Amino acid sequence: MSAGADPGPIGVLDLQGGVQEHLDHLRRIGVAARPVKRATELVGLAGLIIPGGESTCLARLLHIFDLDTAIRTAHGQGLPLWGTCAGAILLAHENVGETPCLDLIDIAVSRNAFGSQLDSFNCEVAVPAVAATPIPLTFIRAPKIVRAGAGVRVLLSLEDYIAAAEDDQVLVTVFHPELTPSLAFHRYFARKCGLSVNAADVDPDWTPQSWMRGGAAP
């Protein structure tokens, strides 16, 4: 990218999961964003979010639409990526007991490690690298990151697993920041993409239905 060039929007993979919620959070921090359904729509992005959903289904759809190859190519050309929950599974080098999908960050994940939907939970924890104050987190049938390889920085460890990690180009979180009022992780990823953001860590006007008011998608 040449000096002074438009850095482009952040894309949100629009195959399944909390697409509109991510777009809404990006809008709240003043970042241009757009849904991505086709490989050609990766062109010109500053970064790409791969949201939660059902990882097996998402992996199949990525292959059907040739997005798996396109995302690997874009990553090789410098595109920053963020996978939340199922997105973290798709990006992992190792998926315990299963075949990995994109294999773009050296972590091992254990899919559905917390059990059923009934084992979903909320908590609030400090993530000093991301925000100065504790961040609310929502876990929904979350995976666990059980290993981080060389070059991977652990941002958050909880009990016997890693909940957030990154390397220079990829961010992974096993929880859903888009389902809380916190904007901290979206601000963190936007900065990882080279974008300037000035929004506060928390939007007091956010509600779980905020994305339904319109304006979340371009």
CATH number of residue 160's parent domain: 3.40.50.880
Per the DSSP assignment, residues forming a β-bridge with 10 are 33, 47
pLDDT in the model for residue 1: 43
The model's pTM is 0.89
Marked catalytic residue, from 25, 176, 186, 193:
176
Q: Among 111-115, 169-173, 209-213, which is the least confidently predicted range? A: 209-213
pLDDT in the model for residue 98: 87
Residue 51 placed within a domain = yes
Burial zone of 7 (CB within 10 Å; 0-12 exposed, 13-18 middle, 19+ buried): middle
Contact between residue 210 and residue 159 where contact means Cβ atoms under 8 Å apart: no
Tokens 């482009």: give the residue: 8
Residue 3 placed within a domain = no
Residue 28 placed within a domain = yes
Residue 202 placed within a domain = yes
**Catalytic site residue 54?**
no
Burial zone of 79 (CB within 10 Å; 0-12 exposed, 13-18 middle, 19+ buried): buried
Pairing, β 92-95 against β 105-110: parallel
Residue 18 placed within a domain = yes
**21 is written with which tokens?**
């919620």
Query: Using CA atoms, how far apart are residues 11 and 25, in angstroms rounded to an integer?
Result: 12
Mean pLDDT calculated for residue range 126-130:
96
Q: What is the Cα 91 distance to its own chain's centre?
A: 10
**218 is written with which tokens?**
């371009």
Marked catalytic residue, from 21, 25, 75, 178:
178
**Catalytic site residue 178?**
yes
Mean pLDDT calculated for residue range 41-63:
94
Domain limits at 203? 10-213
Q: Give the chain's domain count.
A: 1
Residue 138 placed within a domain = yes
Contact between residue 185 and residue 28 where contact means Cβ atoms under 8 Å apart: no
Marked catalytic residue, from 85, 101, 166, 193:
85
Query: Using CA atoms, how far apart are residues 129 and 124, in angstroms rounded to an integer?
Result: 15
**Catalytic site residue 22?**
no
Mean pLDDT calculated for residue range 27-42:
95
Cβ-Cβ contacts under 8 Å for 63 (sequence gap 6 or more): none
pLDDT confidence band for 205 (50 / 70 / 90): low
Contact between residue 50 and residue 90 where contact means Cβ atoms under 8 Å apart: yes
Rounded to the nearest 5°, which phi and psi values hold at 38?
Answer: -130, 155
Residue 188 placed within a domain = yes
